[in-house]
Structure 1
Amino acid sequence: MRLVILFLLSVLLPLVLSHGWDHLAGAYYQQNQGYLYGSLYADRAGGECPEECDCPPSFPVAMYCDSRGLTAVPTIPSHVKYLYLQHNAITALPDSALSNATNLVWLMIHYNQLTSESIGKKAFLKLEALERLYLQHNNLTSIPSNLPRSLLDLRIDHNKIEKVSPTDLEGMDNLTVLYLHNNGLSEVGSSLKALKSLILLDISGNKLTKVPDPLPANLHQLYVEYNSIDSVPEAFLSKFTQLQYIRMSHNLLTDKSIPANTFNVSGLVELDLSFNKLERIPLVSTTLQHLYLQANQIKEFTLGSFCSVVDMTNFSKLLTLRLDGNEISPQDIPVDSSLCLRQVLDIEI
């Protein structure tokens, strides 16, 4: 009897407590609990929940169909808001596949076998409330047409996309996160400029030879590492008043290809220029907190790159400085560096 009581408590108590959660927390919890509730309490009354999926009563607006070996999208009840279809072998998304799922807020269909040709041109047309769409790790060669203008988060990385046209993302005024990394992009033109709400753009791991220009003005995070970028535009950062994180590692940047004062802008928190071909430390703002320059060809520790004036109120705010894998040693650090770099805990060299 004691064992039965303990079992009931272990199952029912979390269900009772979960009523105080918001929908997003509930979705995350359900997804990461090994489908305990789904497998014990799957709601298939009246055949509303497909037999191959789980629809837990404790979170009735979610439907879990991930990692089930599916080759096609099952029938989706109209009340479902959070649909998990990832890690299957789904090969097509015809126009009718989501026609009944007009209340969807999240659609997770990453790690499948979708191609651009297999996605209907009207497949997403009725999803007017969709906020998150995960399409990464498929076989797409282009961005699907008629994506919902309600999207906040679009992840379409790890595909085979070679081009982004302005019409692909037209009207997406709400989009804040765009993952396009690990595709085959050689240029993006002006296709991203109109994304006025975009704060995170990841286009790393492509075939870019220059920094995309123009870019959305409100960016906070820009990731362009693992490309073949060999230069930075003049006054590049002057266009961005909110940019805090830039990652440009694993490119072909040299001292001559970076205009003076490019990175000497206040507001920047993290700058990653590691694994390039720099021979000098670029001039950076005293407000920068994290600077990564490892694996370049730097031959001199130039303290003036961090501080032009040093006194009680003027000093670098750097916390992290990596210079390992260059052509300098600890003996090259000036003796008075501690006055300028007084907040750095450790200089890796």
Structure 2
Amino acid sequence: MRTLVLLLTIGIVDLGIGQHYSQIQWLSHLRRRQWHAGLQAEDADCPLECNCPSAYPTAMYCHSRNLQHVPYVPSHIKYVYLQHNQITGIQDGVFDNATNLVWIVLFHNKLTSDKIGKNVFSKLKNLDRLLLDHNDLTHVPPNLPTSITDLRLGHNKISKLLTSSFEGMANLTTLHLQANDIEDVGGVFKGFKSLTMLDIRKNKLRKIPDNLPVRVQQLYLEFNNIESIPADFLTMYPKLQFVRLAHNKLTDKGLPSNVFNISTLVELDLSFNKLEKIPVVSMNLENLYLQGNKIKEFSMSSFCSAVDMSNFSRLKMLRLDANEINAKDIPAEAAYCLRHVAFIDV
């Protein structure tokens, strides 16, 4: 009794607290009333499991807390950080009070597809970034907001992509699907009108995906089982600037002549394949990676159709190490063709 009187005297406990707060809420209320060394109190609605610093009034930090569920999210919060926890599922309605959320960060948890409600994210009309990488998802969560521009689903267990999973996502600009079990993507990317970066490394693809977004600029396909490139690959996607196809099963037979001779291409990575020849590339190409192949000769015609003062390659980086050629195989006139290259690694 003396303790209660003392608490009431110093103002830590309100007489009406039991009438207005549930058990967890009044505990949170007590915590919020505490102060130390003149520091400002945290947000009055902040859940016990998280921090809501006054310096960042719209952010809620709940990362690395060993959480097994998504805590209550106050209505004014726009950025919620839940990474590095033990969260296995998200029930419908969890975010319904915070419909202004812009970022949800949930990477490095234990999320499974069967424990994510069908409408968990559907009411978040302002959601811009959804980070779900490094979980145990087997498919893309349904009914994702069309407002999302950055979606990260890498390092999961997704084996199949459904067209309905990305329906209406015309604003998506960045999609991470690396390190899954995807064998074929069908035409799921066809409706992406804004996508500029597609990362689908470390999957089980045997061919270049069909119907890629027309505006894609960066395409990462390393560590797959791709054996050949379509002849019209780059002409179909004129915005492509960075193409990475390292660690696949490409051979000379699988590369049509001039398939990479496209002026818009800036960087091409064909390292660690089974090529025996240097493919013909555009004179506008700046970075070419061919290390770890079986290349046996240095062909000038791969870089310059003719060598004179006005015809020379813009190449800056050329890697040919771990092949079957060495420095003496490079002709002296290569210095005129490759005049912008700082050095050739052989």
TM-score by length of 1: 0.87
Structure 1 residue 57, shift from structure 2 partner: 1.0
Q: Does the alignment pair 1:272 with 2:296?
A: no
What is aligned with 2:254? 257
* Whole-Å separation in 1 of the counterparts to 2:41 and 2:267: 46
* Whole-Å separation in 2 of the counterparts to 1:42 and 1:123: 31
Backbone CA RMSD of aligned residues: 0.8
The sequence identity of aligned pairs, in percent, is 56
What is aligned with 1:62? 59
- The code of the aligned residue for 2:82 comes to L
* Whole-Å separation in 2 of the counterparts to 1:44 and 1:148: 28
Following superposition of structure 1 onto structure 2, how do residues 145-160 of structure 1 map, counting pairs within 5 Å?
145-160=142-157
What is aligned with 1:131? 128
Task: State the structure with more CA Rg.
Answer: 2
What is aligned with 2:109? 112
* Whole-Å separation in 2 of the counterparts to 1:165 and 1:233: 24
Q: 1:320 aligns with which of 306, 311, 317?
A: 317
Following superposition of structure 1 onto structure 2, how do residues 238-317 of structure 1 map, counting pairs within 5 Å?
238-317=235-314
Structure 1 residue 306, shift from structure 2 partner: 0.1
Cα pair 1:44 1:50 within 8 Å, conserved: no
Structure 1 residue 44, shift from structure 2 partner: 4.2
Structure 1 residue 225, shift from structure 2 partner: 0.4
* Whole-Å separation in 1 of the counterparts to 2:299 and 2:231: 23
* Whole-Å separation in 2 of the counterparts to 1:314 and 1:182: 41
Deviation string 1:100-132 (CA, Å, 9 cap, x unpaired) is: 110000000111011000000010111000000
Query: Which stretches of structure 1, 4 residues or more, deviate above 4 A after TM superposition?
Result: none
* Whole-Å separation in 2 of the counterparts to 1:44 and 1:106: 19
- The code of the aligned residue for 1:137 comes to H
Q: Secondary structure at the match of 1:321?
A: strand
* Whole-Å separation in 2 of the counterparts to 1:42 and 1:182: 42
Deviation string 1:188-244 (CA, Å, 9 cap, x unpaired) is: 000011111000000010000000011011001000000000011121100112110
Structure 1 residue 88, shift from structure 2 partner: 0.5
* Whole-Å separation in 2 of the counterparts to 1:278 and 1:314: 26
TM-score by length of 2: 0.88
Cα pair 1:42 1:54 within 8 Å, conserved: no
Q: Does the alignment pair 1:208 with 2:205?
A: yes
Cα pair 1:44 1:51 within 8 Å, conserved: no
* Whole-Å separation in 2 of the counterparts to 1:125 and 1:132: 14
Q: Does the alignment pair 1:43 with 2:42?
A: yes
* Whole-Å separation in 2 of the counterparts to 1:42 and 1:184: 47
Structure 1 residue 314, shift from structure 2 partner: 1.1
Structure 1 residue 96, shift from structure 2 partner: 1.6
What is aligned with 1:23? none
Q: 1:190 aligns with which of 179, 187, 190?
A: 187
Structure 1 residue 305, shift from structure 2 partner: 0.1
Q: Secondary structure at the match of 2:234?
A: helix
- The code of the aligned residue for 2:312 comes to F
Cα pair 2:43 2:53 within 8 Å, conserved: no
Structure 1 residue 158, shift from structure 2 partner: 0.2
- The code of the aligned residue for 2:103 comes to W
Deviation string 1:252-291 (CA, Å, 9 cap, x unpaired) is: 0000101111100001110000000000000000000000
Distance 1:117 1:42, change over 3 A: farther
The answer for unaligned runs of 5 or more in structure 2 is 1-38
Deviation string 1:39-88 (CA, Å, 9 cap, x unpaired) is: x655143xx10011111111100000001111001000010001000000
* Whole-Å separation in 1 of the counterparts to 2:179 and 2:41: 37
Cα pair 1:209 1:230 within 8 Å, conserved: yes
* Whole-Å separation in 2 of the counterparts to 1:122 and 1:168: 12
* Whole-Å separation in 2 of the counterparts to 1:101 and 1:186: 37
Q: Secondary structure at the match of 2:288?
A: strand
* Whole-Å separation in 1 of the counterparts to 2:205 and 2:174: 20
Q: Does the alignment pair 1:77 with 2:77?
A: no
Aligned length: 308
182-191 or 50-59, which moves further after superposition? 50-59
Q: Does the alignment pair 1:219 with 2:216?
A: yes
- The code of the aligned residue for 2:42 comes to D
